[in-house]
Amino acid sequence: MPPNRLCYIVLMASTRSATLSIRLKPETKRRLAKLAKNSGRSSNFLISDAVDSYVAEQEMLAAEIRQGNRQVAAGHYIRHEDMKAWLLSWGTDQELPVPKCACGKEHDDETLCR
C-alpha cells in the first residue's frame, strides 16, 4: 500500500462525525455564510468548531463549579463580608490585608490546607 494511502485511512478514521440539524435566524445564517467564505472554511466546519469549543468550555465550567462546591463543603472559602471589606479598602490609605480562608489556615490558590 502506498504511504499516502495509509495516511488517508488514518485521517479518515479520526474524522468521524454525526449529522445534527439546527435552526438559525436568517441573519445568523447570512453572517455565518459570509464568515465561511472569508475564512475559506465551510459553514459546517465553523459550526462544528463552535460547538466543540462551547461544549469544552461548559465542561470546564461545570468541573470548576463542582470543585468550588467541594471546597466550600470542606470549609475552604472566604466569607463575603471579609472579601467585600478587602475590596472596598483598595485604593484607600487603610487597605486591608488579603482575607484569610474561613478554615483559619493560610494557603494559596494552588494548594488547599489539609
Of the candidates 66, 78, 86, the residue with the CA atom closest to the CA atom of residue 107: 78
pLDDT at 8: 46
Please give the average per-residue pLDDT across 25-32, as a whole number: 98
Q: Rounded distance, CA 100 to CA 95, Å?
A: 15
- Evaluate if residue 84 carries a pLDDT over 80: yes
Burial 78-95 (b: 16+ CB within 10 A, else e): eeeebeeeeeeeeeeeee
Give Cα 28 to chain centroid, integer Å: 23
pLDDT, tens digit, for every residue of 36-59?
999 999 999 999 999 999 999 999
Confidence category of residue 16, pLDDT binned at 50, 70, 90: confident
Q: How far is CA 89 from CA 25, 74, 84, 85, 101, in A?
A: 47, 28, 9, 6, 18
What average pLDDT does this structure show over 90-102? Answer: 95
pLDDT cut 70: percent of the chain above it:
82
Query: What is the model's pTM?
Result: 0.67
pLDDT of residue 112: 61
User: Which of 71, 70, 67, 100 shows the shortest CA–CA distance to 83?
Assistant: 100
Taking residues 87-95, what's their average pLDDT? 97
Query: Does 12 have pLDDT greater than 80?
Result: no
| CA nearest to 44, candidates 14, 74, 17, 5 | 17
